[in-house]
Amino acid sequence: MTVYNHFAGKEELFTEVVNDALEQALGRTMRAMQERLRSGDDLREVLTATARDWIEGLVQPEVLALRALITAEARRFPELGRAWREQGPDRFAGPLAAALDARDDLDIPDMELAITQFYALVLYPHIVHSAYGDRLDPRLTDDLITKGVDMFLTYYRKGRHTPHPHLP
């Protein structure tokens, strides 16, 4: 009862738990990514290091358990899903978009699509496998990250992107 005196209800309490858990899991990663971007580190290295940090934070047992709880409760409490996105993937989207947009050697016509593609290459396989209790082995994790970053940067390199002939 004492805990509820500090919050308007369960939803607010759960949202605060989500925010706190993701800050613990990803806060350091966010700060490290921003520092790497400010220092002018090579973009490939920034993306690779950030992806490694994301995976390390998101595959922690307590984060996986919280993600499973949110997935189960998101229909009843949509604010939980929104909080997860805001403190997880959405939190990184703005700084990543700004860093990618500032590059003269990249041509990214749809930044939202590009960020989602980047997540799909390096992060989402871990989320999918972890939902079933599996953890990808270190070699595959490394390949997904390094080759995913390379694929992403190669695809969006200026002059390399040619539209599909059947798409507008």
User: 89-110: per-residue pLDDT in tens?
Assistant: 788 899 899 989 988 999 999 9
- Whole-model pTM: value is 0.79
Q: Please, are residues 54 and 29 in contact by the beta-carbon 8 Å criterion?
A: yes
Q: Please, are residues 21 and 84 in contact by the beta-carbon 8 Å criterion?
A: no
Residue 108: phi and psi, rounded to 5, are -120, 95
What burial letters (b/e) apply to 57-86, b meaning 16+ CB within 10 Å? bbbeeebbebbeebeebeeebeebeebbee
Q: Kindly state the tokens that stand for 10.
A: 């369960």
Angle between helices 43-58 and 61-73 (to 10 degrees): 80
Cα separation, 126 vs 122, whole angstroms = 8
- Give the highest mean pLDDT range of 68-82, 129-143, 145-159: 145-159
Residue 121 has pLDDT above 90, yes or no: yes
Query: 141 Cβ partners below 8 Å, 6+ apart?
Result: 55, 126
Identify the band that residue 162 occupies on the pLDDT scale cut at 50, 70 and 90.
Answer: low
Residue 122 has pLDDT above 90, yes or no: yes
Give, in order, the Cα–Cα distances in Å from 96 to each of 49, 100, 101, 112: 13, 6, 8, 10
